[in-house]
Amino acid sequence: MKQPGKVLLWVAIAVLGASALGGIALNRGESINAAWFVVAAICVYLVAYRFYAGWIAARVLTLDATRATPAERLNNGRDFMPTNRWIVFGHHFAAIAGAGPLVGPTLAAQFGYLPGTLWLLVGAVLGGCVQDMLVMYCSVRRDGRSLGQMARDELGHIGGTAALIATLAICIILIAVLGLVVVKAMTHSAWSSFTVFATIPIALLVGVYLRSIRPGCVLEASLLGVGLLILSVAAGGWVHSTPGWREAFDLDGRTLAGFVIAYGFIAAVLPVWLLLAPRDYLSTFVKLGTVALLAVAIGLLSPEVKMPALTRFIDGTGPIFAGELFPFLFITLACGAISGFHALVSSGTTPKLLARETDAPMIGYGSMALESFVGVMALIAACVLDPGVYFAINSAAGIVGADPQTAAATISGWGFPVTAEQMQVLAHQMGEQTLFARTGGAPSLAVGMASIFGSAFGSGLLAMWYHFAIMFEAIFILTTLDAGTRVARFIMQDVLGAIWKPLGECSWYPSVLLSSLLVVAAWGYFLYIGVIDPNGGINILWPLFGIANQLLAAIALTVVTAILVRSGRLRYAWISAAPLAWLVIVTTTAALQKIFSADPKTGFFAAAGDLAAKLAAGALSPDRAAVAPQLIFNQRLDGWLTALFLVLVWIIVLDMVRVCYRHLRGRRAPMDTEAAYVRTQLA
Amino acid sequence: MKKVSLNWVDALWRAVRAVSGDDAYERYAAHERSHHPEREPMDRRTFYVTEQQRRFSGPTRCC
């Protein structure tokens, strides 16, 4: 940076960002404008990208633009192909953006706006973005290898196997929790159910169009599909207001869970082109469009954030999920700040497309910064609601009471005033029967988005905006459900293949059926338990998902740290070792609390014991007593699962320490897993 | 008649096609022509179906 103009510009960005952050942190007024969050976030990302990512790229990784990438050396015109970096950025962002950064910040808003905002920013620029970029760099230098392969190469069989088990576990928990979000959004809502069901025939139609009518014409098929999706949202309104139709689509949670499970199995065994691929195209279009629309609406409108900076629930008594600020804020935000799942994509499709390795900071670090910004917007959407309304939507009936008056009184008693009438008016505006106890995060995000869109683009269409937002979340949740089931199935086939060889053949149909059935049964079980749980289910599953996700991130950072140390960059290894240490502290503390806490709200075994005691004493109502045995079993299972996650984290970390120690003592030759230097021929 | 300069519209259109994967077959066909002129490239439909099968054989979507 020689030019004084540039220096001044960066100083200005840094000062602006610091003032916006200071304004957010020190604000003690009734409300604060959302523009502060947007400005603070953008400045933080810009400064971090220019200086931290730039420093890592130049000093630590010494990225070399003259080195030919796998895309160039192994070009096959299909998955390996040098591609313009903006286009790779688009692909990569579309692949990493999912429902996690929308749901996580929405739930974390129970602590107030400040903790969530700070961790979304700090966690992303120091942890998540660094992880994505480093994993991408390692994969690019190793012919586009996957995280699992790199774990085996760098750590050996123990690390590799642990990575495989963790991936399988995270897929299953992830699908269950996302399925639960969709089911909760559709429960007793004819409009939502109709719209979400309609996405299936629309996807099938687009699939047939793309295969048989105009093969591979993705743009026109997607536009057709998106048009039909918007039409289905409008048609849902008609269903909602037409007696007969409304009753037909007014379904309870158990029925909907059955549908989602059946759908998941059918989608997993159907050919990819028929359902998964077209759904993926549609969800990408809808997702990018809606995220852009939300950014424009927040920019145009700069709504007031009404949630306080901190709420009383930082003490761990929150109604949405139990547990104190540390460690559960970090577990809940999960993918908005650091997402282990991204490491799979950063070491999957993307590194095979990079034309130059110097594109890695922009694509790896930049995409994650944008993803974190999506998280900030979701947090804003949750915090623009009146806090009373936010808690009324997100608190389960088992916690605040099933009857609207009781629930409103409980929530008002916490200092967040809300009335049953106010909620009734809101539900009517949104085209829903009720908005009380609509847990899962999707309905409250949809209400937040609808009120932002409504004020920016006209409030006559609130119900349409609400259901558009529900459709938007449902469509890419169902895509993740299909894709995740398939990934889990491949891993399952890998595992089964070790037991009996033919089961490992990916194309042998009986093996496909069996492994799909096992995977769907596994997530279907957690989904079903979540639906019958009177406390909403999400309060159990989301922390479990968060722990699993952060565990996968810890594995990715472990592999990267081992590579940094073994390639002679010990003095810089802290760039991944520091976030790794933080993740290990967070996941270990959270897991230990989940296992050993004596508080039935936090600890799995304590909850099981508490419920068993109540059941034995006959203190439960008949409908609760009927599901209690299943809930008790499930709480114990979740406890053991958490213990498994904890053991896996420590196995991998200790294995990494062992490998690094042996390397540093010279007991192990520096194994060169990097592909040899070849000079690029690209201009 | 001189060609009207619509470079940026053209560039934008090409970018949109590339990001969405609309031009995947053309890129594949071009690659096959230049690198493997001796063999017959797949037709559009076969390419599309096998390409989707390959794409979804690994993690493509996150939470």
Chain position carrying tokens 């009324």: A392
The full set of domain ranges for chain B reads 24-55
A residues 506-565 near B, CB within 8 Å? Answer: 506, 545, 549
Q: For residue A305, what pLDDT is reported?
A: 94
What's the rounded mean pLDDT across residues A195-204? 96
Q: Is A502 exposed, middle or buried (0-12, 13-18, 19+ CB in 10 A)?
A: exposed
A383 CB-near residues (< 8 Å, 6+ apart): A109, A113, A305, A306, A307, A390
Query: Could you give the CA distance from residue A602 to residue A537 in angstroms, rounded to a whole number?
Result: 13
Q: For residue A670, what pLDDT is reported?
A: 59
Query: Could you give the CA distance from residue A480 to residue A344 in angstroms, rounded to a whole number?
Result: 14
State the nearest Cα–Cα gap between B45 and chain A, in angstroms.
5
A124, A368 in Cβ contact below 8 A? yes
Residue A663: what are its φ and ψ, rounded to 5°? -65, -45
Query: Could you give the CA distance from residue A416 to residue A395 in angstroms, rounded to a whole number?
Result: 13
Find, in chain A, the residue whose alpha carbon is nearest to that of B48. A216
A144 touches B at CB < 8 Å: no
Cα atoms in the Cβ-side hemisphere of radius 13 Å centred on A257: 22
Chain position carrying tokens 């020190």: A26
Whether residues B20 and A87 touch (CB distance < 8 A) is answered with: no
A630, A586 in Cβ contact below 8 A? no
Write out the H or E segment, with its range, that includes residue A31.
Answer: none
State the nearest Cα–Cα gap between A342 and chain B, in angstroms.
7
A87 contacts on B by Cβ (under 8 Å): 15, 18-19
**Which of B16, B18, B52 has the CB atom closest to A272's CB atom?**
B52
**Least confident segment among A112-116, A200-204, A371-375, A662-666:** A662-666
What's the rounded mean pLDDT across residues A178-202? 95
**Least confident segment among A21-35, A271-285, A404-418, A463-477:** A21-35
Class (C level, CATH) for A17-188+251-664: mainly alpha
Q: For residue A609, what pLDDT is reported?
A: 96
Q: For residue A164, what pLDDT is reported?
A: 84
Query: Could you give the CA distance from residue A644 to residue A646 in angstroms, rounded to a whole number?
Result: 5
Q: Is A667 exposed, middle or buried (0-12, 13-18, 19+ CB in 10 A)?
A: exposed
B58 contacts on A by Cβ (under 8 Å): 146, 344, 348-349, 487, 490
Does A381 or A455 have the greater pLDDT score? A381
pLDDT at B2 over 70: no
Helix A509-532 with A538-566: angle, nearest 10 deg: 130
Phi-psi region of A321 (alpha: psi -120 to 50; beta: other; left: phi over 0): beta
Q: For residue A240, what pLDDT is reported?
A: 94
Q: For residue A524, what pLDDT is reported?
A: 97
Residue A317: what are its φ and ψ, rounded to 5°? -100, 15
Portion of chain A with pLDDT greater than 70, in percent: 99
A residues 78-117 near B, CB within 8 Å? Answer: 78-79, 81, 83-84, 86-87, 90-91, 95-100
* 3-class state of residue A526 by DSSP: helix
How far is C-alpha A392 from the chain's CA centre?
24
pLDDT at A421 over 60: yes
Q: Which residues pair with A409 in a beta bridge?
A: none
**Which of A210, A212, A480 has the CB atom closest to B61's CB atom?**
A480
Task: Indicate the pLDDT class of residue A677, thresholds 50, 70 and 90.
Answer: very high
State the nearest Cα–Cα gap between B8 and chain A, in angstroms.
15
What's the rounded mean pLDDT across residues A458-463? 81
Q: Which residues pair with A83 in a beta bridge?
A: A354
| Cβ count near A251 (within 10 Å) | 20
A464, A232 in Cβ contact below 8 A? no
* 3-class state of residue B2 by DSSP: coil
The highest-confidence range among A71-85, A353-367, A476-490, A505-519, by mean pLDDT, is A353-367
What's the rounded mean pLDDT across residues A38-52? 96
Find, in chain A, the residue whose alpha carbon is nearest to that of B32. A77
Size of interface A-B (CB pairs under 8 A): 128
A235, A194 in Cβ contact below 8 A? yes
Cis peptide bond prior to B41, omega within 30° of 0: no
Query: Could you give the CA distance from residue A475 to residue A285 in angstroms, rounded to a whole number?
Result: 11
Find, in chain B, the residue whose alpha carbon is nearest to that of A270. B53
What sign does the CA torsion over A640, A641, A642, A646 have? positive
Q: For residue A341, what pLDDT is reported?
A: 87
What's the rounded mean pLDDT across residues A552-570? 93
C-alpha distances (whole Å) from A27 to each of A19, A34, A631, A645, A677 are: 12, 12, 43, 39, 53
Alpha helices in A64-189 (DSSP H): 70-73, 85-96, 100-108, 113-123, 129-140, 147-155, 157-186
Query: Could you give the CA distance from residue A519 to residue A486 in angstroms, rounded to a whole number?
Result: 9
Rg (CA), chain B: 16
Complex confidence, ipTM: 0.89
Q: For residue A521, what pLDDT is reported?
A: 97
Write out the H or E segment, with its range, that includes residue A33.
Answer: strand A32-33
pLDDT at A588 over 90: yes
Give pLDDT tens digits for A321-346.
999 999 999 999 988 999 988 998 99
pLDDT at A137 over 60: yes
**Which of B19, B45, B57 has the CB atom closest to A90's CB atom?**
B19
B3 CB-near residues (< 8 Å, 6+ apart): none
Write out the H or E segment, with its range, that includes residue A413.
Answer: helix A404-413
Give pLDDT tens digits for B7-63.
889 989 988 898 888 999 999 999 999 989 999 999 999 999 888 888 888 777 766
A339 contacts on B by Cβ (under 8 Å): 62-63
Give pLDDT tens digits for A519-535.
999 999 999 999 999 88
B22 contacts on A by Cβ (under 8 Å): 216-219
State chain A's mean pLDDT as an integer: 92
pLDDT at A664 over 80: yes
**Least confident segment among A81-85, A258-262, A503-507:** A503-507
Q: For residue A503, what pLDDT is reported?
A: 84
Write out the H or E segment, with its range, that includes residue A6.
Answer: helix A4-26
A residues 317-346 near B, CB within 8 Å? Answer: 334-335, 339, 341-342, 344-345
**Which of A99, A222, A545 has the CB atom closest to B20's CB atom?**
A222
Give pLDDT tens digits for A200-241.
999 999 999 999 999 999 999 999 999 999 999 999 999 999
The full set of domain ranges for chain A reads 17-188+251-664
Whether residues A277 and B44 touch (CB distance < 8 A) is answered with: no
Q: For residue A210, what pLDDT is reported?
A: 94
End-to-end CA distance of chain B: 53
Q: For residue B5, what pLDDT is reported?
A: 66
How far is C-alpha A137 from the chain's CA centre?
23
Query: Could you give the CA distance from residue A308 to residue A114 in angstroms, rounded to a whole number?
Result: 8
* DSSP states along A455-469: HHH-GGGHHHHHHHH
Query: Could you give the CA distance from residue A643 to residue A591 in angstroms, rounded to a whole number?
Result: 7
A217, A210 in Cβ contact below 8 A? yes
Q: For residue A105, what pLDDT is reported?
A: 96
Dihedral over alpha carbons A236, A240, A244, A250 (to 10 degrees) = 90
> Residue A12: which of A42, A56, A55 has the closest Cα?
A42
> Residue A335: which of A37, A545, A557, A34 has the closest Cα?
A545
Query: Could you give the CA distance from residue A464 to residue A317 in angstroms, rounded to a whole number?
Result: 35
C-alpha distances (whole Å) from A332 to each of A110, A335, A342, A384, A543 are: 11, 9, 17, 20, 6
* Chain A contact probe: residue of B20, B43, B53, B62 with most A CBs at under 10 A: B62
A506 contacts on B by Cβ (under 8 Å): 57
Tokens of A155: 């750590």
* Chain B contact probe: residue of A273, A331, A481, A490 with most B CBs at under 10 A: A273
* DSSP states along A544-605: HHHHHHHHHHHHHHHHHHHHHHHTT-GGGTHHHHHHHHHHHHHHHHHHHHHHH-SSTTT-HH
Helix A325-333 with A113-123: angle, nearest 10 deg: 60
B35 contacts on A by Cβ (under 8 Å): 75, 77
Tokens of A129: 């973005």
A222 touches B at CB < 8 Å: yes
A465, A449 in Cβ contact below 8 A? yes
**Which of B15, B22, B52 has the CB atom closest to A217's CB atom?**
B22
A336, A101 in Cβ contact below 8 A? yes
What's the rounded mean pLDDT across residues A176-205? 95
A176 contacts on B by Cβ (under 8 Å): none
